[in-house]
Amino acid sequence: MLTPAILTRVVGAALEEDAPWGDLTSTTLLPVEATATADLVAREPGVFSGGEVFATAFALTDAALIVDLHVGDGDEFSPGDVLASVSGSARSILTAERVALNFTQRMSGIATLTAAYVHAVEGTGARIADTRKTTPGLRAFERHAVASGGARNHRYSLSDAVMAKDNHLAVLKRSGADLATALRDALSLLPHTTHVVVEVDRLDQIPAVLDGGAHTVLLDNFSLDELREGVALIGDRATVEASGGVNLDTVRHIAETGVDVISVGALTHSARALDLGLDLRID
């Protein structure tokens, strides 16, 4: 997802936002010939994500800067570990510092929280997935961080899959449409590669969804007993996804009901930025 075009566009916009007319402090106080080396240092343990983004922030600021990544996305680290280094013009390093840190701290925070969820369901067969509850404009970055943490990505956008949620079903019901028939009609219009997901909030909705040919049935805010009933009812006719009420205290219990996928909005909307610092060494 982090293509060169996305990296350049988004990171470039962040740099322009932070220094629209240049870095006034660095250009007025620091000698143009001053050089330095800065280390990206972990202040707390976590899982790293955003190395390419970190490097891009410095490259777009000054192509002469040299960035060395000492860990890869998905690697665990401890307090005091040096995760990356950048060397070259002191002015350029300090100009890009905040943007590089903002992205890396945010992405590593998401990766770290995601890894905790993945670890919590180990051995159950359930997969952790993210949602579209991402920061506008930063979805590719946050989705990349989720993958760094070991989870799967859900549909990237509204254009990637059919996902009928409660509001869609309410409109269909209001119009008098039969759900199974509406799903079959939709499938007849779609390429055979397009995945169809239908969200239900009651067990009695499941038969119509299965009759309509949905590939995934999303059980939303079901109790553990209801999840087990839903899994038994669906069997191998569709993938079973669970959502709603998912946190680190509940996710293991949800996974043990036999669902295939657990989607967690908190991976992106509630992750805190990790404490990383850029420590400067004057050459």
Residues annotated as part of the active site: 98, 133, 165, 199, 220
Strands, E, within 90-157: which ranges?
127-129
Based on its alpha-carbon atoms, the radius of gyration of the chain, rounded to whole angstroms, reads 23
Task: Determine contact, residues 138/14, Cβ cutoff 8 Å.
Answer: no
Q: Distance between CA 84 and CA 70 in Å, rounded?
A: 5
Buried b (16+ CB within 10 A) or exposed e, 63-95: eebebebebebbbebeeebebbbbbbbbbbbbb
Strands, E, within 213-252: which ranges?
216-220, 239-243
Task: Determine contact, residues 144/1, Cβ cutoff 8 Å.
Answer: yes
Question: How many angstroms separate the Cα of 267 from the Cα of each of 94, 134, 177, 203?
Answer: 30, 9, 36, 27
Q: Distance between CA 211 and CA 209 in Å, rounded?
A: 5
Q: How far is CA 248 from the centre of its chain?
A: 17
Which amino acid is present at 279? D
